[in-house]
Amino acid sequence: MNRANLRTVPSSSFPDCSAPQDVPSRSLSLQPIEIFSTCPASDGIPREDYARKLVDVARWSEEAGCHGILIYSDNSLLDPWLIAHLIIQNTSSLCPLVAVQPVYMHPYTVAKMIASLGHLYRRRLYLNMVAGGFKNDLIALNDPTPHDERYDRLKEYTIIIEELLKNPSGVTYRGRFYQVEHLKLTPLLPLNLFPGIFVSGSSEAGVESAKAIRATAIKYPKPPNQEGEILDSGIDYGIRVGIIARATEEEAWKVACTRFPPDRKGQITHQLAMKTSDSVWHRQLSEFGIQANNPYWLLPFQNYKTFCPYLVGSYERVAEELGRYIGLGYRTFILDIPPDKEELEHTQIGFRKAVIKAYGRTAA
């Protein structure tokens, strides 16, 4: 599925947010919206249940009209490329969004994975380029590279991947971190399967890296009223956010507090993780407190149950907040792991109302 195909999903799925045909595609206000879900992490589910749960979440996401699904990657999790393979085998159009960390493999290997999966399944992939925010993971791999330099490395890494996928005649590249000589990639990847590129990072270095390679910059958002000015239209922006929306505020908060009760052990784990992370977004989120009557909720993050803020409230209230993010220029939304199929249906309602608020027209 590509951006143009968003309008072909069933009416019960996420809304059609693509621009009318007579509007230039770079018009900020009418850029299409892409919605991704997130697959469950392998470290929190019994081994014998994990594959079934993964396939269930992928199928729910596809049925709901999600464009793709994020696959985590860190030292404690299953290999994201094997997860992507399983998702492709069990869905018909869902695009795996694979987290890619340069310290794990050479850029040629990433390009080869993309080309091989494209050759076998004719499925488009997305790459979530991550510099690595947990220092203990990096230290274990003997990677002492400072924070901002990791983003410089990420730029070189991504450039080589893209050039290998685009240039059948071969690639020569001489950078600070990587050098290749007349390197060729086979099989050739069809142009329509060229991967979407995201750069994960809320720091200035992360955003600058996204600009340099014209990737979508993925941030962990502040509350909409603290986000500041409308985003630079030179590149695309997205956010990672969980959503719990129901018909009433009371019902939504009841679900939220049942799903994510206070957890002292989780809070301690979160505090320890903060001490071993140089991630800007991790620090920024931790600084926001919980305010009364505010749909922006951080308790799951503070209890180490997830790695993104949540929007909690009635369909109308959640739609209002989503509409504000859309108004600021965010066009990609990566949702948290859906606990069941029904949760995605509730989220659809919130997004459909948000599109009406943001675009002033009925969502298909």
Residue 212 lies in a domain: yes
Token readout for 197 is 């590129």
The token duo for 364 is: 């298909």
Number of domains in the chain: 1
- For residue 279, the enclosing domain spans 3-359
Q: What pLDDT does residue 301 have?
A: 81
Please report the beta strands in 142-224, taking only residues with DSSP state E, as ranges in sequence order: 171-174, 179-183, 196-200, 216-219
* 220-266 pLDDT, tens digit each: 899 988 887 778 768 899 999 999 999 999 999 999 999 998 865 54
Confidence of residue 311 (pLDDT cuts 50, 70, 90): very high
> What is the token pair recorded at 205?
């270095």
User: Is the residue at 364 inside a domain?
Assistant: no
Global pTM reads 0.86
Q: Rounded CA gap, 311 and 252, in Å?
A: 10
User: Does 276 map to a domain?
Assistant: yes
- Measured in Å, how far apart are the chain's first and last C-alpha atoms? 17
What was the pLDDT predicted at 16?
A: 59
What CATH number has the domain bearing residue 197? 3.20.20.30
Q: Tell me the range of 14-28, 203-217, 219-233 where mean pLDDT is highest.
A: 203-217
Task: Output the six-digit token pair for 248.
Answer: 């009433």
Write down the mean pLDDT value for the chain. 86
Please report whether residue 327 resides in a domain: yes
Q: Indicate the helix (H) or strand (E) that contains 205.
A: helix 204-213
